[in-house]
Chains A and B, each alone.
Chain A
Amino acid sequence: MSQLFEFLLRQGDNALVLGHRMSEWCGVAPALEEDIALANTALDLIGQTQLWLGYAAEVEAAGRTANDLAFRRDAYDFRNMLMVEVPNEDFGRTLMQQFCFDAFQVPWLTALTASSDTRVAEIATKSVKEAAYHLDRSAKTVIALGDGTAESNARMQTALDYLWPYTGEIFADDATDQAMAKAGVAPLPSSLKETWQKTIVQTLSAADLTQPDSTFAHSGGRSGMRHTEHLGHMLATMQVLQRSYPSAVW
């Protein structure tokens, strides 16, 4: 498997898995406006998935399509970071999860617009506009809920404490990251940690939330070595149609 293919799967799978989690709120979000916002955000992410996985399929050149990659791979073939696959639990965790992702995604996609790979640069140029809008909303909502009632503040703190050990994986460079950096395709994720941290600190402080002390980090999502038990359940729902009726089309 080529390193570029591996890299593209990571981009596509992050967007796909988070997009699916967001879409689970469709029809059941706490308020109509939030329902619409989450559905729209999910739509942007699924759109980005089509671009990333479409290119991944071309690079792989094995006759698979973006749809095959999304709906016919099992959990151990997914390359998303663990943070995006954990269950929604409540609205607070969903927003905190999106915020931690967006705070990375904006500087990450911004850097990718200068990629040595033209297609990667193009997809990033398109996606970063959407990501910036997502970050604006998720940061403001984290602040509104954190700096809200005692109940909403406690829920946001619980969400942050739960998600925090999953954030370390974002910045843990591995062989694929090294290869991409060497080829000028992408910067090392670790090089963006400071920028991410700055956004996190500013927002948490305005939200009256406390950043956990722990530096423990779960890992295994980006490499595919060890996903959480939640991903398989999510895929069972997401892929059921293609599994039951392979090659079904609209």
Chain B
Amino acid sequence: MTSKTLSEAQVWQWLEDVPDPEIPVISVVDLGVVRDVSVKDEAVRVTITPTYSGCPAMSVIAMDIETALAKQGVTQLELKTQIVPAWTTDWLSAKGIAKLETYGIAPPQAAGVPKRCPHCKSQALEKVSQFGSTPCKAQWRCTDCLEPFDYFKCI
């Protein structure tokens, strides 16, 4: 790190480039797990909140954040985990939601069911399972194009 003062905005920007390990099209910032960044002199504190309490990706996310900031020259990093307020899908960024759908994952809906098939946009859908490949997703299928897809659970 040079003598240039490090800003919080700069750290947020770096974190924007840290992908979610399970859904790499969105960043940990898009996912809403980064709750706060504070910088005091050269010391950086990043507060993260788990999506699901047992999500195995959380330790990878913490490691990825550490690695990414270390690469940028941050030597004093404190990674704080907080569980309240509890993570909610409302914290997904608009950009993240759009990227999810393009990637083939139906974004969360307040109604608790996906709005449309992320592939063909049909609304003829059926649930396959309430759980999917990660704790944050469920499995659905489109009865028009017949493609199965992940639905990001709304919590």
Contact = CB atoms under 8 A, between A and B. Distances in A.
Interface of A: 33-34, 36-37, 39-48, 50-51, 121-123, 125-127, 129-130, 133, 136-137
A36 B132 CA distance: 7
Q: Which of A44, A51, A133 is packed against the most chain B CB atoms within 10 Å?
A: A133
Nearest to B83: A126
28 contacts: A33-B139, A36-B133, A37-B129, A39-B131, A40-B135, A43-B52, A43-B54, A43-B55, A43-B135, A44-B53, A44-B135, A47-B55, A48-B54, A50-B54, A51-B53, A121-B84, A122-B83, A122-B84, A123-B83, A125-B83, A126-B83, A126-B84, A127-B53, A129-B86, A129-B155, A130-B52, A133-B153, A133-B155
Nearest to A128: B86
Interface residues of B, number: 20
A126 B131 contact: no
B108 to A, nearest CB: 13
B96 interface: no
Contacts of A42: 54
Contacts of B155: 129-130, 133
Nearest to A45: B54
Given A48-B54, A130-B53, A33 B135 contact: no
Contacts of A47: 50, 52-55
Contacts of B84: 121-122, 125-126
B120 interface: no
A41 B86 contact: no
Given A127-B53, A137-B131, 17 more contacts: A33-B128, A33-B129, A37-B130, A37-B131, A43-B52, A43-B54, A44-B52, A44-B54, A44-B135, A47-B52, A51-B53, A122-B83, A125-B84, A126-B53, A130-B155, A133-B130, A137-B130
Which 3 A-B pairs rank lowest in CB-CB distance, beginning with the nearest? A47-B54, A47-B53, A33-B129
A51 B135 contact: no
Contacts of A50: 53-54
B128 to A, nearest CB: 6
B145 to A, nearest CB: 20
Contacts of B86: 125-126, 129
B56 interface: yes
Contacts of B139: 33, 36
A234 to B, nearest CB: 19
The interface centre, meaning the residue of A33, A121, A136, A137 with most chain B CB atoms within 10 A of its CB, is A33
B36 to A, nearest CB: 16
Contacts of B53: 44, 47-48, 50-51, 126-127, 130
Contacts of B85: 125
B54 A46 contact: yes
B144 to A, nearest CB: 21
B127 to A, nearest CB: 10
A223 B153 CA distance: 37
Interface string B67-82: 0000000000000000
With most chain A CB atoms within 10 A of its CB, the pick from B131, B135, B153, B155 is B131
Interface string B120-146: 000000001111110100010000000
Contact of A36 (B54, B56, B129, B153): B129
Contacts of B50: 47, 126
Contact of B131 (A41, A51, A123, A125): A41
